[in-house]
């Protein structure tokens, strides 16, 4: 391979990554046009780290487990957020955004299936609605998580990948850094992002003004 072809290959990869990040940002804008329901009195105060991207990640958490071979996710379990949901692979829609689950499936989580598999090296992306047409959806309580909370992903190879939350942030779209939100935080780790809408609901546009982004990393595996 010539030096010119290697450079061209790198530029093509960079361009594809930029398109994906742009699509993910668009997904964040369009994830739901359903007004939020009345406040959920049962969730208690927000426990998450409500901060702009760039704050250092939490310390004192478990050591990272070595990454696993890729395998398809089948179910995600987040006990402290009340999540026990099937996971379905999704691609990009016609606008280049990650296709979220249909609004008539508020209990389903979408995995960006052409990206990283949860448990493999890199950052796997899970997205879900905060609100459905008739009330709270699967990721309604995602904002209540804190560093140290557990996320479990049942995979098609029979393993259960256990992740530990290290960071919970509400990211305003006016200060959205796609590479920081969706890219790996540390090279060589298996990471997971759980993403939904958050912040204030703009009734004029029918969208939320921010995203809740939970970052977790692989810490243990059950076989």
CA 28 from chain centre, in angstroms, equals: 11
Higher pLDDT, 40 or 78: 78
Name the nearest CA neighbour of 99 among 107, 91, 111: 91
CATH architecture of 3-222: Beta Barrel (2.40)
Read off the pLDDT of each residue in 78-84 and give the average, rounded to a whole number. Answer: 97
Number of Cβ within a 10 Å radius of residue 20: 20
Q: Which residue has the higher pLDDT, 47 or 186?
A: 186
Eight-class DSSP state of 144:
G
Here the tokens at position 54 are: 């760039």
Residues sharing a CB contact under 8 Å with residue 49, sequence separation 6 or more, in sequence order = 55, 58, 146, 147, 167, 168, 169
Q: How far apart are CA 145 and CA 166, in angstroms?
A: 10
The residue that leads in pLDDT, 199 or 78, is 78
* Threshold 0.85, pTM exceeds: no
User: Which two three-digit tokens encode residue 153?
Assistant: 């992903």
Model confidence at 45: pLDDT above 60: no
Domain ranges of the chain: 3-222
The larger pLDDT score, comparing residue 173 to residue 110, is at 110
Mean pLDDT of the chain: 77
Is residue 137's pLDDT more than 60?
Answer: yes
């Amino acid at each position: 391979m010539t030096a010119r072809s290697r450079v061209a290959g790198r530029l093509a990869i960079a361009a594809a990554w930029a398109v994906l990040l742009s699509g993910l940002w668009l997904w964040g804008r369009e994830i739901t046009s359903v007004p939020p329901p009345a406040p959920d009195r049962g969730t208690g105060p927000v426990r998450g780290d409500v901060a702009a991207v760039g704050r250092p990640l939490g310390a004192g958490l478990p050591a990272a487990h070595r990454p696993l071979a890729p395998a398809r996710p089948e179910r995600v379990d987040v006990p402290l957020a009340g999540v026990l949901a099937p996971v379905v692979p999704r691609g990009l829609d016609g606008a280049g955004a990650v296709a979220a689950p249909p609004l008539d499936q508020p209990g389903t989580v979408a995995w960006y299936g052409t990206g990283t598999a949860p448990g493999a090296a890199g950052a796997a992306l899970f997205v879900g609605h905060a609100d459905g047409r008739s009330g709270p959806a699967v990721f309604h309580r995602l904002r209540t998580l804190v560093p140290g909370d557990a996320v479990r992903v049942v995979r098609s190879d029979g393993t259960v990948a256990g992740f530990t939350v290290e960071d919970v942030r509400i990211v305003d779209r006016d200060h959205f850094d796609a590479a920081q939100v969706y890219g790996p935080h540390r090279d060589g780790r298996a990471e997971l992002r759980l993403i939904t809408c958050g912040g204030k609901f703009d009734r004029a546009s029918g969208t939320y003004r921010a995203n809740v982004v939970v970052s977790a990393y692989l810490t243990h595996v059950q076989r």
